[in-house]
Structure 1
Amino acid sequence: MEIVLIILFSYMIGNISPSYIFAKKYKNIDIRNVESGNAGTTNALRVMGKKVALFVFLVDFFKGFFTVFVVKYFWGMDYALVSAVFVVLGHIYPVMLGFRGGKGVATTLGILFCLFIKEILLCAVVGLTLLYIKRYVSLAALVTLFIVNIVIILFNNPLHYAAFTFFIFCIVAYKHNENIKRLINHTERKLGEKKS
């Protein structure tokens, strides 16, 4: 019964979508129908500006961080990893928004900063450097979330920890399939680049 409650709790917390709420309240629009159509930080930046985008990132980040923190505190690491999967699924496929949510990067980062702080800090340096050089948010995010799985193993964590984080990476990467195609075709928009 505990695992069912953890899954439901994590999934419903994941459903909280600050970009959708802010766009509806202050712009009277559905952010999923404008620009990239994504209910996340990058699209919030394009539609509502830097301040709102920062707030969206922080809410998405900390909903992942605090959800797994609470679960880990009361039930331990293995339950926290299950929670991590479902809070990301709740963000990407929120039942309250017709299963059309964000792409899960900020929420996944929050999870990783809670459960694997040393590993993600190291990988974040790589990701931020890549973002500075290439200015592709999707590329920097995917590279960061991929290599953290390798670092988790190199830091002598149990292999099943990396299995959970790699599964989350696969979910996030799947949601980025159009970005990946555009990266391959050199048509992906850079950070700050206007839609042509």
Structure 2
Amino acid sequence: MTLLFLFVAAVGGYFLGSVPFGLVLVRLAGLGDIRDIGSKSIGATNVLRTGRKDLALATLLLDAGKGGIAVLLARYFFGETAALIAGVAAFAGHCWPIWLGFKGGKGFATYLGTLFAFNFIVALLVCLTWAVVAFARRYSSLSALSAAAAAPVFAWIWSGPYLSAACAVISIFLYYRHKENILRLMNGTEPKIGGEKSQSAS
């Protein structure tokens, strides 16, 4: 594996991840700029605030899909190490897309997409963690943070140290992207799921 192949995987993963599907879909639907409403994020959670569940679902699937595709393409052409790099890069592309002044989404859907491409069991366990916390506490951001914290552990058990390390890097980035949510959780002002001004995890 040459450094050139790893570089191509990183760049390709970043640019795949940086495609702002939420922004594009909302504009095509004639609903304006998604960055002007709610949390101003381009992810599915904010798209849902337009009242269009179909657009939110499409955004969720496409944001997850771009992470998975980045991993699968890099694995096919360059191998497993390149796939790990492409997965991290795709997540970074979603969070910091060059097209939008490096202001993107919070990355949880793209994270899930990369996990499904790497290990289906790990991805399902991360989804289950999100669902349990969401049901128990009704905070979307807390659910994403909890699932992200658990992901490296699940990856270590069900896959091994390499995927676990990649998950740890992505989870650190995800926590950084949720820094405002963390502050609101700490001071008790974070809206719950279904709250009018919820600013959560996608």
- TM-score, normalised to structure 1's length? 0.93
Partners of 2:38 and 2:30 in 1: CA distance: 14
Gaps of 5+ in 1: none
User: Of 99, 110, 113, which aligns to 2:116?
Assistant: 113
Partners of 2:126 and 2:6 in 1: CA distance: 30
**Which 4+ stretches in 1 moved above 6 angstroms?**
none
Number of the residue aligned with 2:184: 182
Contact 1:23 1:48 (8 Å CA) reproduced = no
Gaps of 5+ in 2: none
Matched, 1:85 2:88: yes
Return closer, same or farther for 1:56/1:21 CA change in 2, 3 Å cut-off: same
Higher relative contact order (CA 8 A, sep 6+): 2
Contact 2:26 2:55 (8 Å CA) reproduced = no
Give the RMSD, CA atoms, in angstroms.
1.6
User: Of 135, 147, 161, which aligns to 1:144?
Assistant: 147
Deviations, residues 126-170 of structure 1 (Å, cap 9, x unaligned): 22111122221111111112101012222361x233121101111
Note the C-alpha offset of 1:23: 2.5
Partners of 2:54 and 2:31 in 1: CA distance: 18
Letter in structure 2 aligned against 1:55? A
Note the C-alpha offset of 1:10: 1.0
Partners of 2:60 and 2:185 in 1: CA distance: 23
Return closer, same or farther for 1:120/1:28 CA change in 2, 3 Å cut-off: closer
Number of the residue aligned with 2:9: 6
Number of the residue aligned with 2:174: 172
Partners of 1:33 and 1:3 in 2: CA distance: 37
Instruction: Quote the sequence identity (%).
Output: 33
- TM-score, normalised to structure 2's length? 0.90
Letter in structure 2 aligned against 1:17? P
